Structure 1
Amino acid sequence: MNDPRPVLVVTSLYDPTADVVIRELHDRDVPVVRLDSGDFPASLSVEAEITSHGVRGRISTPTRTADLSAVRSMYYRRPSGFAFPHLTEQDARFAVTQARYGLGGVLAALPDCLYVSHPHRIGDAEFKPAGLAAAVEAGFDVPPTLITSSPDAARGFVRRHGPAIYKPLHNPVYLVDGVSSVVKVAEVTADEIDDRVAGTAHLFQQLVPKAADVRVTVIGRRVFCVRIDSGLLDWRTDYSQLSYTPVEAPPGIEAGLHAYLDHFGLAFGAFDFCVGKDGRWWFLECNPSGQWYWLEPETGLPMCAALADLLERTT
């Protein structure tokens, strides 16, 4: 008899990556309850009691209900934010706070639930300075990096370590002429740095002359490495120029990947490395909620099945 305990998939309405995982789970007769926390409370409700046996109760969408004590795993992806547009600014701020710490707190406290990954651990890992420090601790090669709001410090760093690049510490979406855009990684010289740097924090990093990039997707204990050839500074700027090749990680890399994820308590990570001209792998970043599915049709690597195995808790 199949395990009746459901998998919770917490993400926004439009998430093609979550869609393929849900289809895989459905094909295995694994029950799934998909929800977007941003739908609370209009079309998502929660009833949770804190008992001597932990959290008990239910969470309900218009079509599904999950017993909170029976959730086997949670795939936490990219839910939308809470919004209360019908309230005044002050009341909306209060309501958002209560929703975050109420519903969010319940979702973070499910008994016997495997989180892929736990939302609090994802939040910790999204801080780029913490990720770079953890990468060094895990034994990865990390390019010299400066985080600063000082124009003088930035200019001095670029002069010492140039050529260098600027990259955002986090990348919110901007609307430019109605089109979603993000701040791109770009090469920078000392002469280009002016007093605007003093306006907020910035990240500068030595540019590693590279032969290629590698995206490493870690799902539980399984590791999938894909070399990306493009000739671009940032391969994410033009997917039409990319070619993909499955590769094996050099000695020591796989142990470092698991050490990094263990440091943050993550069950998933999308790692980016660049490969130097000498073949050395340099850590750039790890996205704890990164995209991965587009690589499966390109390479045949069974990443969707691996993630379904993890959520089904067969591995």
Structure 2
Amino acid sequence: MTTGSDVIIVSTPEDVHALAVKREIEGRGGSCAILSNEAFPAAEALTYAWDGTEETRELGAARFAEPRRHSVWLRRFRPYTLDDKLHGEYRDYARRATDSTFEGILCGRARLIVNPAERNRFIDHKALQLQLALECGLPVPSTIITNEPEKALEFLSRHSRVVTKSIASWRFRLIETRFIDSSAIPDFSSIKLCPVLMQEYLAGMIEYRVTIIGMRVFTAKVDLAEAEHPVDGRLHFSRVMEAAELPTDTEARLLRFHRAAGLIYGAYDLRCDASGIPHFLEVNTDGQYLFVEIETGLPISAAMADVLLRRSQ
């Protein structure tokens, strides 16, 4: 098939976020295709060619023809399917070569990419996020990322309540934020093998889930006062979520962060301290937002459709 779609979303066919945006695009008279990367290269072919007069760009059954240009939403990549005969450095090379070719064919002539893959990879580093947040004037909880047991113990001794969270994302797995029991001295010897992230616990019962698309800000306030697990509101439906607005200075600083990070889409988590001041926790470049849209009525899918169709920024 020759794809003349206005928008191509990289995700699985059953991804509800991709389907919601596809529906919004088609409701605006645009065309949208959802393309999964999972079968490449073991079960699907990919080809780029230039013979001096004609260019060929093919991803499986999809054929990309000029002069039409499309927008791309790199919503959710799956692991590539590699042949079992590949091992070690050869398997790693095959994965990187496939990734390079797939993204190059898909994005090389795109009019818009949400978000460019290199920006996603760059901003995914938690230590980098925290440094950029501080540069943009956003309050950040006291934090340590280390593989030195002594420094971890020292940090724990200086704060009455401390939480730990994952540093790197786990694909298709939720790792919750947890309290560290400071009543007993924990054994941190194993962190020599891998750094750990610890933060002071912010005692406020208000969190903000902020979705930014282009320069449009959609804010949901989460009241965790009655939540069974207030340290991580994602784990319980007893939370109360409603559409809200951030303090003006906080929103301005968050937009400054968004621009500096080079993002078009970002899902931000902020949490208030006991005084009600929002603190930056993290941004997820492929974070979920549909639960926010369902609970608050905020038109986030519509905003994504508008940006992909280049009808707003």
1:274 aligns with 2:271: yes
1:176 is aligned to none
Residues 161 and 200 in structure 2, CA contact (< 8 A), matched pair in contact too: yes
Matched ranges for 1:252-271 at <5 A = 252-271=249-268
SS at match of 1:218: strand
Matched ranges for 1:211-250 at <5 A = 211-230=205-224, 231=227, 232-238=230-236, 240-250=237-247
SS at match of 1:192: coil
1: distance between equivalents of 2:21 and 2:118? 22
2:140 is aligned to 142
SS at match of 1:241: coil
Taking structure 2 as the reference length, the TM-score comes to 0.88
Residues 48 and 106 in structure 1, CA contact (< 8 A), matched pair in contact too: no
CA distance 1:85–1:172, shift in 2 (3 Å): same
- The equivalent position to 1:289 in structure 2, one of 286, 289, 300, is 286
- The equivalent position to 1:199 in structure 2, one of 178, 186, 193, is 193
Gaps of 5+ in 1: 174-179
SS at match of 2:290: coil
CA distance 1:199–1:308, shift in 2 (3 Å): same
Q: CA deviation at 1:29?
A: 2.4
2: distance between equivalents of 1:84 and 1:208? 44
Gaps of 5+ in 2: none
SS at match of 2:34: strand
Query: Residues 256-308 of structure 1, C-alpha deviation per residue, up to 9 Å, x if partnerless?
Result: 22211222211011000012232210111000111001111211111111110
- The equivalent position to 1:121 in structure 2, one of 101, 119, 122, is 119
- The equivalent position to 1:186 in structure 2, one of 157, 178, 185, is 178
More displaced 10-residue stretch of structure 1: 130-139 or 159-168:
159-168
2: distance between equivalents of 1:87 and 1:208? 50
* Partner amino acid, structure 1, of 2:175: V
2:301 is aligned to 304
1:31 aligns with 2:31: yes
Query: Residues 131-158 of structure 1, C-alpha deviation per residue, up to 9 Å, x if partnerless?
Result: 1111111111000111100111000011
1: distance between equivalents of 2:52 and 2:272? 52
Taking structure 1 as the reference length, the TM-score comes to 0.87
1: distance between equivalents of 2:139 and 2:59? 46
CA distance 1:5–1:100, shift in 2 (3 Å): closer
Residues 6 and 309 in structure 2, CA contact (< 8 A), matched pair in contact too: no
Residues 59 and 102 in structure 2, CA contact (< 8 A), matched pair in contact too: no
Matched ranges for 1:8-23 at <5 A = 8-23=8-23
2: distance between equivalents of 1:51 and 1:184? 53
More displaced 10-residue stretch of structure 1: 258-267 or 164-173:
164-173
CA distance 1:56–1:226, shift in 2 (3 Å): farther
2: distance between equivalents of 1:39 and 1:139? 44
Q: CA deviation at 1:16?
A: 1.0
Q: CA deviation at 1:236?
A: 1.3
Query: Residues 6-51 of structure 1, C-alpha deviation per residue, up to 9 Å, x if partnerless?
Result: 2111113431111111111122221223212222232353325498
More displaced 10-residue stretch of structure 1: 147-156 or 7-16:
7-16
CA RMSD of aligned residues (A): 2.4
1: distance between equivalents of 2:110 and 2:13? 26
CA distance 1:298–1:204, shift in 2 (3 Å): same
Q: CA deviation at 1:106?
A: 3.5
SS at match of 2:38: helix
